[in-house]
């Protein structure tokens, strides 16, 4: 049962308050929780004959209003979804069910959109080479991943059922062996769209992004042997390499240096070819704000439907482990 409460009169020119429908029991329950959390021992003396709910609430109200702590507590209760909202959630649930019950062997197409950027990253721009000290520090940071068995680096997260679009960032990458020598081969991947994925433990590169020659070097070079790991199944070996990347964020081009996992495409969720920027040594080194296009459009700054939105860097950790503020 729902009861409509007439809105209070508004002063001329005042902004109209947005009204929602709330479950009364949810309001009472959350209010009781907040009171108990703030002052667990609070009590009130009442006649035993006072048992009607409206009378009890009326008796308690003066205490709530006069108490300096309780009178300033905010109680947040989720509002009931609208008819349209419930219909949308129902459609999402049905789509989710269909996806979860679908053929697990069929690859689901993954759509992406780049973030909008005011910067220009030329495909000829290259990340700066690390010094021997910086290379060693990077190697030490990932030492625990070299001595243990292969850990599957990706947490599969459902793509938004609404449009299946995930954000990408433009980057120029330079790949080297972890125990790099000055004359060791380098491999550059310029002007590539990288999936920005907080659900990935590490940065991942699919093998088909590399040439057979550089793959052969990484797999067979004796110095890289500690970083090549095999696992059961048809996916084949995986390996770790050092990556220096110039990443074109929306308001700044930054360089991140990390260790990436190179693995066969068939071992990557959705069998996606390309590069996934993951957490360790990359995303977890960047403080940024993400604003999706839907918010920008609502505020009148729509970058265009071809973009996911913007990633604005606030600060990040550079190769010297210094915090760089933008």
Provide the domain limits for residue 53: 24-72
For residues 68 and 135, state if they share a domain: no
Query: Does residue 38 lie within any of the structural domains?
Result: yes
**What is the structure's pLDDT at 127?**
85
For residues 137 and 286, state if they share a domain: yes
Query: Does residue 105 lie within any of the structural domains?
Result: no
For residues 55 and 123, state if they share a domain: no
For residues 118 and 33, state if they share a domain: no
CB neighbour burial string for 262-290, b if at least 16 within 10 angstroms, e if fewer? bbeeebbbeebebbbbbbbbbbebbebee
**Best CA proximity match to 283, nearest among 306, 309, 260, 265:** 260
For residues 62 and 192, state if they share a domain: no
For residues 155 and 241, state if they share a domain: yes
> What are the start-end ranges of the E strands in the chain?
111-114, 165-176, 187-196, 203-206, 228-229, 238-248, 253-263, 275-277, 286-292, 309-317, 323-325
For residues 153 and 238, state if they share a domain: yes
Contact present, 313 and 252 (Cβ < 8 Å): yes
Query: Does residue 103 lie within any of the structural domains?
Result: no
Highest-scoring range by mean pLDDT, 7-21, 40-54, 76-90, 147-161: 40-54
* 183 vs 217: CA distance, rounded Å: 13
**Best CA proximity match to 189, nearest among 214, 168, 165:** 214
For residues 115 and 30, state if they share a domain: no
**Best CA proximity match to 46, nearest among 57, 36, 35, 30:** 57
pLDDT tens for residues 6-19? 555 555 555 566 67
Query: Does residue 240 lie within any of the structural domains?
Result: yes
Query: Does residue 100 lie within any of the structural domains?
Result: no
**Best CA proximity match to 36, nearest among 4, 89, 75, 94:** 75
> What are the start-end ranges of the E strands in 177-236?
187-196, 203-206, 228-229
For residues 47 and 133, state if they share a domain: no
pLDDT above 60 for 162 = no
DSSP alpha helix (H) spans, 67-142: 83-100, 132-141
Q: H-helix or E-strand containing 24?
A: helix 24-38
pLDDT tens for residues 306-320? 999 999 999 999 877
For residues 253 and 159, state if they share a domain: yes
pLDDT tens for residues 44-55? 999 999 989 999
**What is the structure's pLDDT at 196?**
94
**What is the structure's pLDDT at 249?**
95
What are the φ/ψ torsions at residue 213 (nearest 5 degrees)?
A: -65, -45
Mean pLDDT, rounded, for 60-69: 92
Tokens of 18: 């947005």
* 33 vs 190: CA distance, rounded Å: 55
Tokens of 93: 């649930």
The separation between CA 145 and the C-alpha centre of its own chain, rounded to angstroms, equals 23
For residues 67 and 126, state if they share a domain: no
Token pair 């308001």 in the structure block, residue = 251
For residues 62 and 204, state if they share a domain: no
Query: Does residue 183 lie within any of the structural domains?
Result: yes
Count of beta carbons in the 10 Å neighbourhood of residue 13 = 5
CA distances to 28, 32, 35, 60, 77 from 64, in Å: 13, 11, 9, 7, 18
Query: Does residue 200 lie within any of the structural domains?
Result: yes
**What is the structure's pLDDT at 80?**
67
pLDDT above 80 for 214 = yes
Task: Report pTM.
Answer: 0.63
| Ramachandran sector of residue 19 (left: φ over 0; alpha: ψ -120 to 50; beta: rest) | beta
Mean pLDDT, rounded, for 264-292: 89
Domain count across the chain: 2
Query: Does residue 84 lie within any of the structural domains?
Result: no
């Amino acid at each position: 049962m729902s009861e409509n409460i007439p809105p209070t009169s508004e002063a001329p020119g005042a902004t109209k308050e947005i009204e929602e429908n709330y479950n009364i029991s949810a309001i009472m329950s959350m209010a009781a929780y907040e009171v108990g959390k703030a002052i667990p021992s609070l009590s009130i003396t009442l006649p035993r004959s006072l048992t009607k709910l409206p009378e009890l609430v009326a008796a308690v109200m003066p205490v709530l209003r006069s108490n300096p702590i309780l009178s300033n507590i905010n109680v947040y209760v989720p509002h009931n979804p609208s008819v349209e909202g419930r219909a949308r959630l129902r459609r999402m649930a049905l789509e989710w069910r269909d996806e979860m019950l679908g053929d697990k062997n069929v690859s689901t197409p993954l759509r992406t959109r780049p973030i909008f950027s005011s910067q220009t990253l030329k495909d000829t721009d290259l990340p700066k080479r690390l010094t021997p000290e910086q290379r060693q520090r990077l190697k030490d940071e990932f030492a625990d991943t070299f001595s243990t068995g292969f850990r599957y680096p990706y947490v599969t997260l459902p793509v938004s059922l609404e449009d299946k679009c995930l954000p990408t960032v433009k980057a120029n990458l330079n790949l080297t062996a972890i125990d790099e020598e000055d004359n060791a081969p380098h491999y550059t991947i310029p002007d590539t769209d990288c999936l920005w994925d907080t659900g990935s433990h590490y940065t991942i590169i699919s093998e088909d992004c590399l040439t057979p020659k550089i793959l052969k070097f990484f797999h067979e070079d004796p110095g890289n042997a500690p970083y090549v790991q095999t696992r059961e199944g048809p996916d084949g070996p995986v390996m770790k390499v050092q990556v220096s990347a110039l990443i074109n964020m929306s308001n700044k081009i930054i360089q991140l240096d990390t260790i990436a996992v190179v693995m066969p495409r068939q071992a990557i969720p959705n069998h996606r070819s390309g590069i996934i920027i993951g957490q360790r040594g990359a995303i977890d080194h960047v403080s940024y704000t993400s604003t999706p296009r839907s918010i920008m459009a609502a505020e009148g700054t729509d970058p265009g439907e071809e973009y996911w939105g913007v990633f604005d860097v606030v600060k990040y950790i550079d190769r010297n482990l210094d915090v760089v503020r933008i």
